[in-house]
Amino acid sequence: MNVTVTYTTQIKAALELASETVEVAEGTSALDLLRQLADKHGETIATLVFTSAGDLLPSMLLCVGDEQLTSPAEYSMQDGDTLTLLSAISGG
């Protein structure tokens, strides 16, 4: 099945990519999809999404459609879903 991943802010700039369509197996969680993307894109995305221990950074927000995912490990991606990665931006 195919899902679209939309990148914003630092991730979009680092990958030089606004979005991509990714093929995933049925039952793939949103967190598994992020790990698949980290394998595909390497350190470019891994350091912006995961801690050194491999956990999702607390500053990462994941949305499917208009809904924020509170438990990415428990959300099973569906064919046609759009997963948006939002990294918090701070500054003064």
pLDDT tens per residue, range 1-37: 999 999 998 999 999 999 999 999 999 999 999 999 9
pLDDT tens per residue, range 71-87: 999 999 999 999 999 98
Shortest CA distance to 48 belongs to which of 5, 91, 8, 10?
Answer: 10
pLDDT tens per residue, range 31-57: 999 999 999 999 988 999 999 999 999
pLDDT of residue 88: 72
User: Could you give the domains of the chain?
Assistant: 2-87 (3.10.20.30)
Model confidence band, residue 91 (pLDDT cutoffs 50, 70, 90): low
pLDDT of residue 44: 86
pLDDT of residue 28: 97
d(CA 60, CA 62): 7
Q: Is residue 90 packed enough to be buried (19+ CB in 10 Å), middle (13-18) or exposed (0-12)?
A: exposed
